[in-house]
Amino acid sequence: MSAPPTEPGFWKEVTHTLSKIVDVFTRPLDVISNAVSGRLEILLKRKPRLYVNFHPMSAFWCLAFAGGEKKAMQMSFMADFSHDDPGQTILLIDAYIKGTKPWIKFDEPIDIAPEELVTPEYQVHFMITPIIAPVGKNWTGRIIFIDQWHRRYRTKKFEFVWTGPTELPARYGRSRRANETSCHHRCSC
């Protein structure tokens, strides 16, 4: 005598249940591997070349003050931005000069879509410390931009014109709060 034949539905249910169990245990691994592979793709892909064309007579630098004693170097400019990668958008989130650290970031990130020339409708400005330029004189150098993946892009040298006093003007006095910044000219900072 032979054993009674098993129903085909039984094995179908067993394999379906096993596949669900395997799926539950492998789904977190899939999420992690997708995140790692996405990041590796960004890191291994060629970094786009960023093109920055500063507008003439629009690049200035001055001192910014916080709490009366703390000083920073404020950079302000207008420029056109583009890049050479047709497959990705670059989002510039910060900038600094070699030998400094960002103190106050951009008000708004600069979004550079593929194959587009972007001109922000506002004066781009940021603040850095320490002050590396001679106070009261024009400064010529390179700006280093940082994108959303923390890749760095160096510009060509450009001259930033000095503007403003070398000390906090008396009419501004001390800021109301220690973390509040004061600028000597009428800008949005």
| CATH number of domain containing 174 | 2.60.40
Verify that 54 and 17 share a domain, yes or no: no
In a domain, 56, yes or no: yes
Please write the tens of the pLDDT for every residue from 60-79: 999 988 776 788 999 999 99
In a domain, 13, yes or no: yes
In a domain, 188, yes or no: no
Give the list of residues 6+ apart from residue 61 with CB closer than 8 angstroms, or none. 73, 74, 75, 76, 133, 139, 160, 161, 162, 163
Q: For the chain, what is the mean pLDDT?
A: 82
Please write the tens of the pLDDT for every residue from 112-132: 999 899 998 889 989 999 999
Verify that 99 and 169 share a domain, yes or no: yes
**Domain of 17, in residue numbers:** 1-45
Verify that 87 and 128 share a domain, yes or no: yes
What pTM, to 2 d.p., does this model score?
A: 0.69
Farthest-apart Cα atoms in the chain, separation: 109
Token digits of residue 8: 């085909």
